[in-house]
Amino acid sequence: MNTWGKVAAGVILGVAGTIYATSEEARKNLPKTARDLPANVRRRYENAVSAAREASSSRKEEILRELQQHDRAHSGQAARLGQAAPVETPASAGETTVAAPENPEV
């Protein structure tokens, strides 16, 4: 019996929704709070979208700050490693050679 009640409620809601969507006369006869429901839902949706955009932009700024800090932290390491380690260049036949930094002879 419980499932038949759910089915009946679903049918009633479906019919009411169809009438509301297709009949302007039915919408005019509904109480004011029921007519304003779509406007309330629309306003809540717009508020939610606005809040989501704000959160997205603040998270984007946070990610950019973290990337800049990460880049600064690693740029110091790269500079230190670049001075200490020689550059390897591939040679023919799969061998690797170490190239010394070029020093112009004056």
> Structure tokens of 21?
């969507």
> Structure tokens of 57?
């932009």
Q: What are phi and psi of 90, to 5 degrees?
A: -70, 140
If DSSP codes are grouped into helix, strand and coil, which group holds residue 45? helix
The answer to whether 53 and 65 are in contact (CB under 8 A) is no
This prediction has a pTM of 0.37
pLDDT tens for 16-40 read 888 877 888 877 777 666 667 778 8
Domain boundary assignment for the chain: 33-73
pLDDT tens for 51-106 read 999 999 999 999 999 999 988 888 776 666 655 555 555 555 555 555 555 555 54
